[in-house]
Every structure is written in C-alpha cells, then in structure tokens.
C-alpha cells in the first residue's frame, strides 16, 4: 500500500475548479515551487489549486547512497537510460495517483487536473499522466525525460492519447542532457502524441520566457 504524500498548497482564488499537481526534482521539496505560482499570468483562468507534494526520502545510489527526497533511485546518472528504478517509479506513480483521487473527491474532475514536474518530477508527471486510466487536463514536463522508455509503449493508457503535453528543456542543461528530452519528444511523437515542444537557452533551471510560455499554454486551455 502506498503512503500518502505530504504537500504544500497554493490557490490562485477561492473555490478552485482546476488542480495542478506539481512534482519537484531530486533532493528538493515541494515548497520550493510555491513562490512560482505568483510568477504565472493566469488572470484569465478559473481559480487553480496548485499541489506541490514532497517526495519520500530514500538512498540515492548515484550520490553515494546519500539520503534525500527522490521519486525513485538513480543508479548511474540521468544520462543512462538502461538502469532505472522501476520499482520506485511505480511506487511513486501510485502515490501521485492517490493525490489525483483526493482532488477528485474535493470536487475537481480528472479532466480538470494537470500533472506537472521538474527534472525527476517531470519523469513522474509524464509516466503517471500518460498511464492514468482517466482523461486528464494536461501534462507539463520541464527539464526532464520519459522514464521506462522501453516499457512505456505497453504501459500507457490510450484514454490520454490526445491529452495536451507541454514539454520544455534547457539546451545547456548540465544535469539532464538535452538529448534525453529530444529522445522523449521523438518517442511521444512516434506514438502519436501532440507535444508543445519548447527549448530555451538555459541550464537545469526555469526561465522567465518558459514561465510566460507555460502561462499562455495554460490560459489557452482554461480560459
């Protein structure tokens, strides 16, 4: 049984009609992204509830066994797609699904729920969202990649085949190579997904142009 994830929350207005569940990166925590909500230009959107869950703490092999928050173990660095912690990925997927179910109980239907993530959180947003058995509002993947690329074509659920995807990456990313994002884009497009692809001259971070483009993407879907 998966444990329930603790999280930080930020609402853009009373009685939110939309939820965004946003996963952080390796070694970070959900609270780091709360200030980002004020940077978005979402004035033409209905009230949105942003949920920023905190990943469980675990030992990370690639970091010498250091204990930190992570959605799954990293065995050999982000550039190596051959060794992945499938058990950890599935466990975190189930924990994120528990948050989706919570939002549904709070009155937000699945098709008004977005999954988003940065870096390792991006991996979880993409995998969880495209394998989820109900239609979601959209998926936001920033500075990350699709995990379990070899099994994903069989794992995915066709109900989210046409779910909007915003995928963005820095061309100078020193943590998750730009090529991993390009490989993810090629995989998704080969499977027929429609991806809003965005590349920025930046490292493993977020930029103002990215925030502006994401704001416009969300507004287009919600306004």
Structure tokens at 29: 């925590």
Is residue 173 flagged as an active site residue? Answer: yes
Give residue limits of the domains in the chain.
Answer: 7-222
CATH number of 7-222: 3.40.50.1820
> Tens digit of pLDDT for each residue in 87-128?
999 999 999 999 999 999 999 999 999 999 999 999 999 999
Percentage helix, strand, coil for the chain under 3-state DSSP, each rounded to 5:
35, 20, 40
Confidence of residue 73 (pLDDT cuts 50, 70, 90): very high
- The active-site residue, picked from 204, 207, 213, 215, is 204
Q: Judge contact between 131 and 156, C-beta under 8 A.
A: yes
Give kind and range of the element (H or E) at residue 190.
helix 178-190
User: Does 1 score more than 50 pLDDT?
Assistant: no
* pLDDT tens-digit series, residues 131-154: 999 999 999 999 999 999 999 999
By CB atoms closer than 10 A (0-12, 13-18, 19+), residue 60 is buried
Structure tokens at 17: 């009609």
The structure's pTM equals 0.96
For residue 2, pLDDT over 60 is answered with no
Q: Catalytic residue at 41?
A: no
Q: Which of 73, 85, 92, 119 is catalytic?
A: 119
119 is catalytic: yes
């Amino acid at each position: 049984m998966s444990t329930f994830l603790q999280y930080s929350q930020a609402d853009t207005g009373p009685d939110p009609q939309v939820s965004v569940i946003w996963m952080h990166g390796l070694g970070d925590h959900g609270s780091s992204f709360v200030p980002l909500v004020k940077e978005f230009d979402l004035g033409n959107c209905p009230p949105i509830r942003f949920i920023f869950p905190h990943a469980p703490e675990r030992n990370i092999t690639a970091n010498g066994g250091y204990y930190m928050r992570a959605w799954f173990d990293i065995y050999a660095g982000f550039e190596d797609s051959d060794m992945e912690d499938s058990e950890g990925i599935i466990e975190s997927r189930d924990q994120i699904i528990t948050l989706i179910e919570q939002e549904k109980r709070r009155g937000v239907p699945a098709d008004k729920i977005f999954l988003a993530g940065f870096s390792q959180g991006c991996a979880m947003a993409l995998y969880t969202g495209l394998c989820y058995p109900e239609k979601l509002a959209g998926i936001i993947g920033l500075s990350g990649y699709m995990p379990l690329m070899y099994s994903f074509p069989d794992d995915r659920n066709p109900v989210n085949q046409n779910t909007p995807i915003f995928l963005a990456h820095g061309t100078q990313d020193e943590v998750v190579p730009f090529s991993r994002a390009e490989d993810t884009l090629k995989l998704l497009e080969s499977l027929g997904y429609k991806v809003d692809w965005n590349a920025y001259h930046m490292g493993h971070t977020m930029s103002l142009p990215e925030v502006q483009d994401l704001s416009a993407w969300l507004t287009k879907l919600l306004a």
